Chains A and B, each alone.
Chain A
Amino acid sequence: MRGCPVNDTITGLENALGSGALKNPRLRRIGEEILDLVKDVAWGRAGNDHIFAISHLANDIVESADDKNARQVGQTIASAVNVHKEVFESHVQTHNCATGDCVRLAPAPCQMACPAGIDVPTYVSLIALGKDAEAIEVIRKDNPFPWVCGLVCTRPCEFMCVRGRIDTPVSIKYLKAFAAEKALSDRQYKNPEKAPDKHQKVCVIGAGPGGMSAAYFLALKGYGVTVLEAQPVAGGMMMLGIPRYRLPREVIDREVAMIEELGVEFKYNTRFGVDVAYDQLKADGYEAILLAIGAHSAYTLNITGEKDFPQVFDAIDLLRNVALGHRKSPGKRVVVIGGGNVAIDAARTSLRLGSEEVIVAYRRTRHEMPADIEEVEQAEEEGIRFSFLTIPVEIVGQNGKLEGLKCIRADLVSREGSSRKVPVPMLGSEFIMEVDAVISAIGQCVDQTCTACICDLTWSRRTTIDVEMASMETSIPGVFAAGDAVTGPATVVEAIGGGKRAAEAIDRYLSGIPQPKMPPVPVRRQRVEWLDVPAATKMALKRPEMPLLNIERRRTTFQQAELGYSENQAREEARRCLRCDICRRCGRCVEVCRDEMEIDALNFGYLDFDHPFKTDFRVTEEKCILCGACAANCPNNAIVIEDRKGERILNFCGTILNRQKLLYCDSCGAVIGPARYHDYVTRRLGTLTPKTGKQKLCEVCARKTSAEILNF
């Protein structure tokens, strides 16, 4: 990837000013003004007039230059702005530098990891400051479902959280839920401003997270959006696939209501391909269509007896029926087949419906289970049993009544040339699991029948809709797709990210702008000032445990199992954030301190992504002399040194690494730094140290006094 032209312009201009290419004092002043303006662009603080002003001043240099070098400087700047105008504008409008060269505008790892591209450090910092509504405002620039994601997101951000390389990741997911709940409770949860009406209509098929996210962003852009939904409620898999003890219905309803408030029209009980056809939508004036139909069909077990008994059904059906209000227990003894999240959800739901014994049968071991570990642990606490290395063979029963599930024990065996172990049945190990209901949870796929009315729609070999992932365009112009229909059964936040990309692509399509060839880079929304936290506190703060509903209620009701953080827990947790939106982890500070100053006070083991080692911010205070070399060499002002109230303080993104009392010159009263720094300088100068007796003197007074002593 090429460098950023904004950053290149800064480097070129600094070199020109440093080398004396602008000799004329007036032109030199203009050059310095341009440098300030371009730095504003690079730092995300430029306004709409900046680019014009840079161009105007550069042309002024060209016209007024009295030598070749100065003219060339002006021409280079004018040309950079002219050729790369879009990139300059992108820096101003989106506060984003795609190359990451303009370090202030490069997203933090957590933001980069989020499929929806939420500016995590900004909203976490706002939560630390108690500004929950502002935090939600930031989240909703990229994701219309902060509360839903705060409860059910798979949190890729936390896996990339740099704090996790020190102890545990910041609890980003739960902080989001806390802020959403608080903002809603305070009646401060608001929609962003809508763009003027574009008088163009878009139809979204499916009211799941992908479809509704697209609807939200399209409505904000000024499009008229209609969402068709086959079910009587909005939410898709969030509503029908995720049980209420994990995601209460009110949470979905409240966030859907915010989308409705933007003017999005929902048509329920309307099945695409049955009640409405593709041609009809085109005839009705919809200029673009988004297919967000989800993956609601279940794979079958393909074992004998599967179709013969009404007590055998798939997990998706069970969860859907329960979500729609059915409360009939599937049976007294239930076995759920599968090892994913849906299997765990079906098992825990059966328990809450009154089943006395629920077993999850999985063909591999606990180690290979793809379900979230927290979900598995909670299920076990609630009394769900697991039968590992168990392969279902046959459904057993007579006269239409299920009697059991015949299974065979498995052994995990490595195949030649592969380290992936495969479950192989152990001969003669068959046994009958006596149950009165069998629930299959071995995966879902996209139901292709509803799209039969769209000729020429192409599908991948994984039976998902074939799209360009950067733009979500299908094989048919004007038809886009997002969510599980594209990815297969995936995550809520991935569907939201896909919906957002699709909305952007639909806007481009309807505006006649070419589609991008790469997925977009997340956009920085703000740069919130950091919050001062002593190093000892930063290290001592621990990620809080999520309080849970008592076990009896969890086993018997659909009340929300995770009770959420208290306000104090949330504020404290938010203060653990390392502010990676400011520190880029280049390691320059560590190198300077260790190699040039030979002090080695910054032991930041977390800077290494692949091989992180121990980090302890408290160690800095033991060695640091507060010389400021680290701060002087930081390219992003992430580490600063300042004199405040008689102390010199070393502050690293809000973490107070060291603070020492300042010494003042006995003669003139000037600051001479902390004693440790003074001693270090004295030691390094050795015999060259001016003779000052017992006095603590600044450099100037010391020289003067030394000269006086020597003259005598």
Chain B
Amino acid sequence: MVIFRRGQRVAVYKKSEDEGWEDYMDAYIGAHGIITDPDTSKNDPDDLVEVSLDGKGTHRFPQDCLKLLED
């Protein structure tokens, strides 16, 4: 697990087992995006973080389904 920061590029690389993962999110696996709102108060690995996906809108994801992309 890493601490996500605003502006970092990430990929949704797998389905999460967390209850915050909804069925429609399956369509986003493999999508790349940018962290637009990490959890804004605690840096809690359990929080949902907001990600803008390229061409697929902005959604909150459990952190375990995200990985950082190298710049």
Contacts and interface: CB of A to CB of B under 8 A. Distances in A.
B56 A364 contact: no
A370 B41 contact: yes
B39 A113 contact: no
A370 B39 contact: yes
Contacts of B7: 159
Of A115, A338, A461, most B-chain CB atoms within 10 Å: A115
Nearest to B45: A420
A156 B41 contact: no
B20 A460 contact: yes
A342 B57 CA distance: 27
A494 B6 CA distance: 16
A419 to B, nearest CB: 5
A38 to B, nearest CB: 24
Contacts of B59: 469, 519
Nearest to A156: B36
Interface size class of B (residues with CB under 8 A): 35 or more
Interface stretch (A119-127, A266-274, A439-447): A439-447
A443 B50 CA distance: 17
Contacts of A156: 34, 36-37, 50, 52, 58
Given A112-B56, A114-B58, A517 B37 contact: no
Contacts of B48: 462, 487-488
B19 interface: yes
Interface in B21-44: 22-24, 27, 32, 34-44
Contact of B43 (A154, A339, A342): A339
A521 B19 CA distance: 23
A490 B50 contact: yes
A497 B59 CA distance: 11
B34 A517 contact: no
Contact of B42 (A100, A159, A340, A521): A340
B15 interface: no
A314 to B, nearest CB: 12
Contact of A159 (B34, B43, B69): B34
A442 B44 CA distance: 11
Interface in A537-559: none
Contacts of B5: 367-368
Given A156-B58, A420-B1, A444-B41, A517 B24 contact: yes
B37 A494 contact: yes
Contact of B69 (A461, A470, A610): A610
A47 to B, nearest CB: 29
A460 B50 CA distance: 18
Interface in A420-447: 420-421, 441-444
A521 B40 contact: no
Contact of A494 (B39, B42, B44, B50): B50
A237 B1 CA distance: 31
Contacts, number: 118
B52 A371 contact: no
Contacts of A442: 41-42
B11 to A, nearest CB: 9
Of B34, B46, B59, most A-chain CB atoms within 10 Å: B34
A411 B39 CA distance: 22
Contacts of B27: 1, 518
A491 interface: yes
Contacts of B43: 339, 364, 368, 370
Given A156-B50, A420-B3, A517-B23, A441 B57 contact: no
A522 interface: yes
Contacts of A444: 41
A418 B41 CA distance: 21
Interface in A652-695: none
A468 interface: yes
A160 interface: yes
Contacts of A370: 38-43
Nearest to B8: A159
Contact of B24 (A338, A460, A470): A470
A534 interface: no
Contacts of A130: none
Of B50, B54, B56, B69, most A-chain CB atoms within 10 Å: B50
Contacts of A494: 37, 50, 58
Contacts of B35: 159
A160 B69 CA distance: 15
Contacts of A497: 58
A609 interface: yes
A519 B40 contact: no
A462 to B, nearest CB: 7
Contacts of B32: 609-610
Given A156-B52, A370-B40, A461-B19, 7 more contacts: A159-B36, A442-B41, A460-B20, A470-B22, A487-B48, A494-B50, A519-B24
11 contacts: A113-B58, A160-B36, A342-B40, A370-B40, A420-B3, A441-B41, A462-B20, A490-B40, A490-B60, A491-B50, A519-B24
Interface of A: 1, 100, 109, 112-115, 154, 156, 159-160, 338-343, 364, 367-368, 370-372, 418-421, 441-444, 460-462, 468-470, 487-491, 494, 497, 517-519, 521-522, 609-610
**Complex A-B, nearest 8 residue pairs according to Cβ-Cβ distance, in ascending order:** A340-B41, A156-B36, A113-B52, A443-B41, A420-B1, A518-B24, A159-B34, A340-B40
Interface of B: 1-3, 5-7, 9, 19-20, 22-24, 27, 32, 34-48, 50, 52, 54-60, 69
